[in-house]
Structure 1
Amino acid sequence: MRVLLAETNWNAMTAAAGLVDAGLLVTRVNDGAEMLDFAKFGEQSAIVFDLDLPHMNGFDLLARLRDDHPLLPIYVLCASDDWAVRKRAFELGVDDVLAGPVNPDYLAAQIKAAVRRTYGYTCAELTVGDMALDLDHQIARINGKALHLTRKEYEILEMLVLQRERLVTREAFMSHLYAWDDEPDPRIINVYLSRIRQQIEACGGDGEMVQTVWGLGYRITARTDNAQAAA
């Protein structure tokens, strides 16, 4: 999961560091204008920012983000527990307001739960055929055997499982994994997918559950008899 976060003060910086420690990818921006740009073109799972922003009203940013992304989990930080502030934020569609010093573990747990619900899941462990993916501990297993995945390989597999049976484009993978930061050749996705299939097969699963639909994207499915191709 990738979080878009405006690192505008110490509390937000603490949140960013804690979310990384909790296993989330974090895209850091400097202000509200950058956040709007990244939110428009990026591939993020959730958004976090402090209402006290430079050069932009925090409520205005929240309203614009919610208009553009009706279902995306959005969390705001604020210095005080003022009910009027919280009420206004909820009226604008925020998922939660975290007052005072942020607890990164609490925020990370909220984000993970909200992202699951966004895709229609309530449980932290998702299954596709013989595969079980533990979103909280970021572990994939086939018949109880853990796959040995790199961080980026796990992120790709997580994206596929959250959107099981649906196509994920190469561009979406690249945006999610790198967020325009020193992107390698997009063909690296083929390498990652090949290694994921190898790990699935090493644990006794069917690597063809990860499918390539040429010219369109990739998907994961428990039905492998109609696989079109493999990268």
Structure 2
Amino acid sequence: MRLLLIEDDAALRLGLARQLEADGYRVDQAADGEDGLFQAREYPVDLAIVDLGLPKLSGLTVVQRLRADGRAIPILILTARGSWQDKVVGLESGADDYLVKPFEYPELAARVKALLRRSLKATSDVLTLGPIAIDFSAQVARLNGEVMDLTAFEYRVLEYLVRERARVVSKQELSDYLYPHDEDRDSNVLEVLIGRLRRKLDPDGTLAPIETLRGRGYRFTLG
């Protein structure tokens, strides 16, 4: 899962990013509302954590503009203001949940997990598609009940294709999801990852779980 953390307090932002990454999330960071809005618009994001008191653009403005764009990603707002009026303003702007500073990391982690689960429209963390089961919480995939030996990148590819299985995912979109936007990408690396993942998901060559549509991208075919 790829998260966007928009927070101008550098110590808090870096600390939260380290803890979230230790929990297995990919975390992009922004120190002001303008950069945060740009990243949310330009790159695939599964959830945004947005501080309200941001420079350049306020957190409320960021949330409002994302919702005006039609972006339905879950948004958790962070606020130093604890009054119920401020909470209502944040939620009415389009946020899905709020957390008042100061807070403990386990509470933020629990809210992130709950919002992501709700966005997946799943009643549990496990999604079963034919012989393949994916435990989003544990970040583990099973084939016929046996845990698959996937690298972190292979798991991310599988998770993203499964979540977006109703449509074709372009190579560019998948690359944006996998790699920081300031890294050089090599399309050959992505093709190798897809090939390796196909062999692990379908060792007998009977499922064909990942379809390649020439010139368009990839689609997960099960479910």
Pair in the same fold by TM > 0.5: yes
Aligned to 1:139: 140
- Secondary structure (helix, strand or coil) at the match of 1:48 reads strand
- Secondary structure (helix, strand or coil) at the match of 1:63 reads helix
Separation of aligned partners in 2, 1:62 and 1:27: 17
Structure 2 counterparts to residues 46-195 of structure 1, below 5 A: 46-195=47-196
Corresponding letter in the other structure for 1:57: S
Aligned to 1:227: none
Q: Which runs of 5+ in 2 are unaligned?
A: none
Separation of aligned partners in 2, 1:207 and 1:183: 33
- Secondary structure (helix, strand or coil) at the match of 1:98 reads strand
Q: Which runs of 5+ in 1 are unaligned?
A: 224-231
TM-score of the two chains, using structure 1 as the length reference: 0.87
Shift of 1:16: 1.9
Separation of aligned partners in 2, 1:108 and 1:206: 39
Aligned residues: CA RMSD? 2.0
Shift of 1:159: 0.7
- Secondary structure (helix, strand or coil) at the match of 1:26 reads strand
Shift of 1:108: 3.2
Cα displacement string for residues 59-93 of structure 1 (whole angstroms, at most 9, x for unaligned residues) = 22221122224411011111232212111101111
Say how many residue pairs are matched: 222
- Secondary structure (helix, strand or coil) at the match of 2:95 reads coil
Cα displacement string for residues 13-63 of structure 1 (whole angstroms, at most 9, x for unaligned residues) = 332222112111001112111111111111111111211112332322221
Separation of aligned partners in 1, 2:23 and 2:69: 27
Shift of 1:200: 1.9
Corresponding letter in the other structure for 2:4: L
Identity %: 34
Name the CA shift for 1:169/1:106 in 2 (closer, same or farther; >3 Å).
Answer: farther
> Which range moved further: 100-109 or 66-75?
100-109
